[in-house]
Amino acid sequence: MNGAQDLGGAHGFGPVEAEPDEPVFHAEWERRVFGLAMAMGFTGTWTLDGSRAVREALPPVEYLSSSYYEIWLKALEIQVAENGLCHPEEMRSGVSQAAPSPVKRVLAGDQVAPLFDGGFPSDRPPAGPARFGVGDRIVARNIHPAGHTRLPRYVRGRPGMIERVHGAFVFPDAAADGKAAPPQWLYTAAFTAEDLWGESADPGGRVTIAAFESYLEPRA
């Protein structure tokens, strides 16, 4: 979606402010939100793409004025309620007032290390041959999906070139809604800074994105 999260190239946000020796978490509540979001994600009620979709769909002013873990908290509350896992009144009181809804799985303490050491790969057997190869000239499509996409606005309609072919992966635009869709070939697509930013470009600069096949068209 063309939401507040699609920040590449935006002006007005000021200098990058790096805190020296920054702690991983700045408050106990941040720790808990991190853990809760990860554990609830494991239940299989929603996908990681779905979580990103809910975060980026926060109203723009709210998104931009919330801290990172505030965004996680707000999105988690929405996901828990929208999936019928808790009722909003229960979330206000912190006390359960109804039987739990069934979930696919619950993360046990002793599962964390083996599962997170193994990871959760997103690659899948491809549905067909790759359309593009290394060196192919492409253009990023000028699409503006209202739902979740990982094609940032700053590349749409811009000419680029395939630099790598990564294999086929779960397609996030569909997975965000839990919709079944064939895996898509994923590429590194490179763009010159000049093609993206014109006169504002860093000379000789390049920007790459990881682009799904349906984000791209060939060009002569």
Partner 1 sequence: MAAADHDHEDHDHGHGHGSELSPIEARVRALESLLVEKGYVEPAALDALIERYEHQVGPHNGARVVARAWVDPAYRALLLADATPAIAELGIGGRGGEHMVVVENTPDTHNLVVCTLCSCYPWPVLGLPPVWYKAPPYRARAVIDPRGVLAEFGVTLPDTTRITVWDSTAETRFMVLPMRPDGTETLDEAGLAALVTRDSMIGTGLPVSPEAAR
Q: Residues 142 to 171: which contact partner 1 by CB under 8 A?
A: 150-152, 154, 164, 166, 169-170
Helices (H), 43-150: 48-56, 60-65, 68-82, 88-93, 112-118
**Binding string to partner 1 for residues 86 to 115, with x set by CB under 8 A, is what?**
x---xxxxxxx---xx-x--xxxxxxxx-x
Q: Does 204 bind partner 1 (CB under 8 A)?
A: yes
Dist CA 184 CA 211 (whole Å): 10
* CB count in 10 Å sphere of residue 20: 4
In the complex with partner 1, which residue's Cβ is closer, 120 or 220?
A: 120
**Binding residue for partner 1 (CB under 8 A) from 62, 82, 202, 217?**
202
The encoded tokens of residue 210 equal 């990881």
The residues that bridge with 210 in the sheet, in sequence order, are 188
In the complex with partner 1, which residue's Cβ is closer, 115 or 128?
A: 115
Residue 184 Cβ vs partner 1, minimum distance, rounded to whole Å: 10
**Binding string to partner 1 for residues 30 to 69, with x set by CB under 8 A, is what?**
-xxxxxx-xxx-xx--------x--xx-------x--xx-
Q: Does 217 bind partner 1 (CB under 8 A)?
A: no
Q: Identify the burial level of 59 via C-beta atoms within 10 angstroms of its C-beta, where 0-12 means exposed, 13-18 middle and 19 or more buried.
A: exposed
Residue 22 Cβ vs partner 1, minimum distance, rounded to whole Å: 5
**Binding residue for partner 1 (CB under 8 A) from 70, 177, 194, 195?**
70
Residue 175 Cβ vs partner 1, minimum distance, rounded to whole Å: 11
Whether residue 4 contacts residue 63, with contact meaning beta carbons closer than 8 Å, is answered with yes
Q: List all residues 6 or more positions away from 89 whose beta carbon is below 8 Å from its beta carbon.
A: 97
**Binding residue for partner 1 (CB under 8 A) from 54, 58, 73, 168?**
73
Q: Does 210 bind partner 1 (CB under 8 A)?
A: yes
Helices (H), the chain: 28-42, 48-56, 60-65, 68-82, 88-93, 112-118, 172-175, 193-197
